[in-house]
């Protein structure tokens, strides 16, 4: 049973469409720490929120099975909502957890409002960090997950050119892919390859 459970989680994480391995159904992706009577007069603003994250290690038989990242969103009333995502790789014991769970607030869709970006971990020894992103929806006044970002590594938000730049490195080879928004989705606009030594030349 334990083997089946672990294999099921591993398959979920490696599936490109699983949004970097979320193990929580969309209906359960947001939950509150306590039952709070809704304040119908309160409409949260993006600026109301503060964030912190925690990496929770799941153990089984004294062995690490996987790490879950919990992101706590606290609004102006002090009400906290949780977002869940999966750390990569599954077993981070042999990895430096320094960047896992790190939060940044870049404007991914260039609407002038900061979004929420959480580092889920490296894909290999060269880094190639993966991220989960939640976009702020100013119509519904909440964060919504950005789907279909599998394959975007070490993302850089290029505000001047309004594109997301992904960088993948393997040994001395570096692949740079740029994505732009089209019909509400990020689509590849161009890519180039170069050596890491060329990229780091003064």
Torsion of CA 191, 15, 154, 49, to 10 degrees: 130
Nearest to 89 by CA among 73, 69, 103: 69
Mean pLDDT by 10 residues, the chain (202 residues): 38 40 38 51 94 87 79 96 86 67 96 96 87 96 92 95 95 94 94 84 62
Contact 157, 164 (CB under 8 A): yes
- Model pLDDT, residue 186: 95
- Model pLDDT, residue 31: 43
- Model pLDDT, residue 88: 81
- Model pLDDT, residue 22: 36
Contact 80, 32 (CB under 8 A): yes
What is the DSSP secondary-structure string of 66-104? EEEEEEEEE-TTS-EEEEEEE-SSS--TTS-GGGTT-EE
Give alpha helix (H) positions in the chain. 2-14, 196-199
Predicted TM-score (pTM) of this structure: 0.75
Contact 108, 118 (CB under 8 A): no
């Amino acid at each position: 049973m334990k083997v089946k459970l672990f294999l099921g989680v591993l398959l979920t994480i490696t599936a490109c469409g699983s949004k970097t391995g979320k193990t929580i159904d969309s209906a359960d992706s947001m939950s509150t720490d306590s039952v709070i009577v809704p304040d119908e007069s309160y409409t949260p603003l993006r600026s109301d929120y503060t964030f912190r994250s925690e990496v929770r290690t799941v153990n089984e038989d004294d062995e690490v099975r996987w790490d879950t990242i919990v992101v706590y969103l606290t609004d102006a009333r002090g009400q906290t909502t949780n977002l869940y995502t999966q750390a990569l790789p599954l077993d981070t014991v042999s990895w430096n957890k320094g960047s896992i769970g790190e939060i940044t607030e870049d404007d991914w869709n260039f609407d002038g409002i900061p979004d929420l970006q959480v580092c889920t971990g490296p894909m290999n020894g060269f880094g190639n960090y993966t991220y989960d992103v939640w976009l702020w929806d100013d119509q519904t006044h909440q964060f919504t997950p950005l789907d279909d970002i599998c394959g975007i590594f070490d993302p850089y938000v290029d505000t001047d050119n309004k594109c997301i730049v992904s960088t993948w490195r393997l040994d001395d080879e570096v692949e740079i892919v740029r994505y732009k928004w089209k019909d509400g989705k990020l689509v590849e606009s161009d890519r180039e390859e170069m050596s890491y030594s060329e990229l780091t030349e003064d």
